[in-house]
Chain A
Amino acid sequence: MIDRVIDSRGLDSFDLRFMGLIAVILSVGVLSIYSVTHSQDTAFPFYLKQLVWILLGTVAFLVMYLSDYHKIARLAYPTYAVILIMLAVVLFMGKSSRGAQRWIPIGPFAFQPSEFAKLVLVLVLANYYSRASRVGWLHRVVLPGLIVLPGLLLILKQPDLGSGLSFLAVYAAMLLMVGVRSKALGIILLLSVMLFPFVWEVVWASLHDYQRERVMAFVDPDYDPGGKGYHALQSRIAIGSGELSGKGLYGGTQSQLKFLPEGHTDFVFAVYAEEWGFVGVLVLLALFIALIWVSLEIAARAKDTLGALLAAGIVAMLCFCVVVNIGMTAGMFPIVGIPLPLVSYGGSATIMTMASLGLLLNVKRRRLTLFY
């Protein structure tokens, strides 16, 4: 009954601002993808494909927005089971790309379950913590940890270090939100995940070449085959050469001349930074901060624990991906495969991110029921 009342109210200015931000960031992505791949002579270029993903993402957004998030949360466990099966399937019969098995081919496209696993994990954990008062180490930390573990292991086995770290980040963020007996634990966990790359860099610098190669070969054997350091260097050159105002659209020589690999996916930020310079970078950072700020607002004003935890989990996931992706393209972190949300080319990631944001807005919409 209440739902019906709210539905009829339609969208308010907050919703429009939220969706506007998403649309602007998506446009930045399509433009950069177009810039770096427009010279490729294919019938179905990447930017058009990305538009299709955005269309599908919009559908996902609306579905998540319009359903009751309590009902969605109730489906969390079965969905998680399905995702786990898919992750297992990927290992055995998935499509290899750059040596890692992350995709399930569907016709001409490939579906990447590990992307969706992130959102499903947010749902599962939020659902878990909201069901009952979870007190004590066992219920607060260990049991949810056991829920996270199978998914994490399957993802790391692919190997997909980036998604694995996102998984840990979501878990840590949830712990922080529900509060552990010693709050410090949650903070430490979150910080250690966030700071892992920094620490890594320090340890990294102290290692010999061959040790690094062994470590890298162990954690992520195939991400950068035959070119450890090459991506990082080219990416730094691309970003740095953008200087203050950038080289303009199509002006990025690094990316246009193909010295920068993966320019439309994981390294799209470098392409953007080269073409739009530090000014453009600040604008994009501001857009992301605004989006995250608004999302945190939703989390803070959620009407119930489930809503708050869902929102917080989604925000944490979003933050993590943005920070780690930009950090790695800027040469602060080692390179792990994490796309820039809403900007990098990729069907699974785009649809998943938009679905998450739909769910987020859903939380906000339900909040209003209490006030009317």
Chain B
Amino acid sequence: MATVGYNDSDLLDLQRRLVILRVGLLLVVALLALRLWHLQIREGPYYRDLSENNRTRSVVLEPARGLIFDRNGVLLANNVPSFALYVTLEDVKDRQALVGQLASLLALDPEVIQKKLSTGKGGKLQPRKVKDRLTLREATLIESHRLDLPGVMIQVESQRNYPAGDVAAHLLGYVGEVSADQLEKPDFADLHQGSIVGQYGVEKWFDRQVRGRAGQKSVEVDALGHEKRAIVSDKPLAGDDLYLTIDAKLQKIAEDLLGDESGAIVALDPTNGDILAMASRPGFDPNVLSKELTNKQWVEIVQNERRPLNNRATQGQYPPGSTFKVVMAAAALESNTVTPSTMVRCNGGYQFGNRLFHDWKQGGHGSVDMNEALIHSCDVYFYTVGQRMGIDTIAEYAKQFGLGQETGVELPSERVGIVPSTAWKQRARNQPWYPGETISAAIGQGYVTVTPLQMASVIGTVANDGLSIKPRLVQAVMNRTTGERAEFPPTVRGKVAVKPATLALIKSALADVVTKGTATRAKSPLVTIGGKTGTAQTAALRTGPEKDIPKKFRDHAWFVAFAPVEAPRIAVAVLAEHMGHGGSAAAPLAKDVIEAYVKAYPQVLPGAPASGRAKSPAVPVDARPKT
């Protein structure tokens, strides 16, 4: 025998134990049979029904969009629950009748419903969103009619909400259903008809981060297509949160300063590019635009003459007027066209060929040097140096300061304005440059156009001793799932090739503009401010006193400023459309914004404790490129 350990009593024992196994087996198999009887006989008809109509529907679970906060964590955009109505065509017995019923219950155009039902990917099994933001009344109405409405489902979804209403509307943007055109693009490949995407502002620019990822659930439906039971097979992933650089309070102040007038105010921190406020008026309520608008509502908004959807800070292109003299001064000194002590005689006009170019001051400023020309905004001085430099030198410096190109701010459809040059004229107009046009350009008129954001960046670059930092709206993105916060460091755009002495001269002259020049209305007891006024002509025809001119032909008022003069931490550009002179209409607004800022952030004032000043970090010195 090959085996050991064998004995008879062991085997007898084993036989007894096998009986236990037999009994156990029979019991368990009986249980299985009972379960199968339950499934197949007792509940058989129910499951048969489910299988025959393939009674499971795959429903997309919309993700919650990421939240948007300001620099101090004030909530600017969140999500609130809302009801959405879906229709699954597979379960609809009579489509025409259903469309009619829904149209009357929801007061919708039957054609709109038809269109919703016939567009989109997926077959008849794919539920289609017909309407969202149902009111509670509408939702209960539908629910109470559910027996007459086969194939209709009410889903609770999250709806974008902007708690502050129209504050920062142009920055935040709004959301809307993804369009058919967008769905064709690879960026939207993971979306479907009815998906909500950002359509404007940072909502659009950062849509991929904020959007999140949709989930899915399998819904068991009854014979009428109504939900019986749902199984979440794939949870939706919330989008990332955005932390903006703006200060919501300052933003509101800036918007209120513009009030009902049209215009823009941009305030940024020149040391790191943080946009502290960017107001554009008139505005809009993103809550309204994120709803589904009727054609009529949409036309009303788009055709509004004051163009509320236009973000004037990044999309409005205006002649810079005398604010351009800041760039002109740098160009003239740096190209050695003049020295700081070069004097120009101003008699109130500049004769070129057979045309006389007027100074804004009748009778002129007398003999002025660069410093005085800036303080009093002498046109003749800049006509003269502009003519000596030529347009291409002006263009070269204007581009160095970032004009004629995107600032790179994280907003869609930024406009770039125009920096005219001989090459530009040839390309754009197919005409040679006429020397007379240089004279207009020298005071920021003629072909030159800029956006308020570009001007804020220009004055910020001057304030920051020539180091240009890319303006930015978003500080950080936080992943909602992992809690990881990714900070965006400031980006250095470059350093303008202007000597520190030149910049120092310009800054000191701009400080004097406020203390004794054209912008005394910007003088503040709280903080030292430097700035430059500008008045952008909109119509060539100018007769009679200002108040007699119809408003839409009046000049735009400009003011660009920085503060504190000693160590600037805020740069502001104000543009007030058709408000006349920069010194009277725009400068006080800039002063108010700056005062509000230094009140809220006293640590930016000179002499404040160093630890406080670190709150909004400047670009470290070693990050600066060599020039």
Contacts and interface: CB of A to CB of B under 8 A. Distances in A.
A243 B32 contact: no
A238 B51 contact: yes
Contacts of A187: 20
Nearest to A183: B17
Interface stretch (A23-31, A39-47, A296-304): A296-304
A244 B5 contact: no
A6 to B, nearest CB: 15
Chain B interface secondary structure, helix, strand, loop or mixed? helix
A227 interface: yes
Contacts of A179: 13, 17
Interface in B31-70: 31-33, 35-37, 39-41, 43-48, 50-52, 54-56
A236 B50 CA distance: 10
A330 B36 contact: yes
A296 B29 contact: no
Contacts of A292: 25
A305 B41 contact: no
Interface stretch (A48-56, A315-323, A351-359): A315-323
A222 to B, nearest CB: 14
B6 A240 contact: no
A248 interface: no
Contacts of A190: 24
A149 B36 CA distance: 35
Contacts of B10: 305
A285 B44 contact: no
Contacts of A288: 29
B21 A312 contact: yes
Nearest to B42: A240
A345 B229 CA distance: 32
Contact of B48 (A243, A282, A305, A323): A243
Contacts of B39: 236, 239-240, 330-331
B28 A323 contact: yes
Interface residues of B, number: 50
A289 interface: yes
A89 interface: no
Interface string A43-76: 0000000000000000000000000101100100
Contacts of B50: 237, 240-241
A285 B18 contact: no
Interface in A285-337: 285, 288-289, 292-293, 296, 299-300, 302, 304-306, 308-309, 312, 315-316, 319, 323, 326-327, 330-332
Given A234-B56, A237-B47, A253-B51, A296 B5 contact: no
A278 B41 contact: yes
Interface in B315-349: none
A281 interface: yes
Contact of A330 (B1, B2, B18, B35): B35
A273 B25 contact: no
A327 B37 contact: no
Given A179-B13, A230-B231, A305-B10, A241 B48 contact: yes
A224 B56 CA distance: 18
B21 A132 contact: no
Contact of B36 (A233, A281, A289, A296): A281
A243 B41 contact: yes
A308 B11 contact: yes
B626 interface: no
A22 interface: no
A176 B17 contact: yes
Contact of B40 (A70, A278, A299, A326): A278
Contacts of A332: 31-32, 35
A191 B2 CA distance: 34
Interface in B551-600: none
A293 to B, nearest CB: 8
Contacts of B232: 209
Contact of A299 (B18, B55, B233): B18
A177 B5 contact: no
A130 B5 contact: yes
Interface in A165-204: 173, 176-177, 179, 183, 187, 190-191, 194
Most buried by A among B7, B24, B51: B51
Nearest to A243: B44
B386 to A, nearest CB: 67
A340 B231 CA distance: 26
A11 interface: no
A163 interface: no
A75 to B, nearest CB: 13
Interface residues of A, number: 70
Nearest to A233: B231
A151 interface: no
A289 B25 contact: yes
A173 B24 CA distance: 12
B218 interface: yes
B3 A70 contact: yes
A242 interface: yes
Nearest to A176: B17
B20 A312 contact: no
Nearest to B215: A226
Contacts of B107: none
A263 interface: no
Given A226-B233, A229-B233, A243-B40, A282 B5 contact: no
Contacts of B21: 173, 176, 296, 312, 315-316, 319
Interface in A200-228: 209, 226-228
Nearest to A327: B32
Nearest to B32: A326
A332 B34 CA distance: 11
A114 interface: no
B124 to A, nearest CB: 14
A259 interface: yes
B15 interface: yes
Contact of B51 (A173, A237, A300): A237
B24 A194 contact: yes
Contacts of B35: 327, 330-332
A9 interface: no
Given A177-B14, A312-B21, A277 B218 contact: no
B77 to A, nearest CB: 26
B111 interface: no
Contacts of B26: 289
Nearest to A311: B18
A254 interface: yes
B256 interface: no
A257 interface: yes
Most buried by A among B13, B46, B50: B50
Contact of B14 (A233, A254, A312): A312
Given A239-B36, A253-B52, A227 B25 contact: no
A4 interface: no
A133 interface: yes
B138 interface: no
B437 interface: no
B220 interface: yes
A69 to B, nearest CB: 10
Given A243-B45, A326-B36, 20 more contacts: A70-B2, A179-B13, A183-B17, A209-B232, A227-B234, A240-B40, A240-B50, A242-B40, A243-B40, A243-B41, A278-B44, A285-B33, A289-B29, A300-B18, A304-B6, A305-B10, A308-B14, A323-B28, A331-B39, A332-B31
Closest 6 pairs (CB-CB, A-B): A240-B47, A243-B44, A241-B51, A70-B2, A278-B40, A229-B231
Interface of A: 68, 70-71, 74, 129-134, 173, 176-177, 179, 183, 187, 190-191, 194, 209, 226-230, 233-234, 236-244, 253-254, 257, 259, 273-274, 277-278, 281-282, 285, 288-289, 292-293, 296, 299-300, 302, 304-306, 308-309, 312, 315-316, 319, 323, 326-327, 330-332
8 contacts: A131-B5, A183-B17, A227-B233, A230-B218, A239-B40, A240-B46, A288-B29, A293-B22
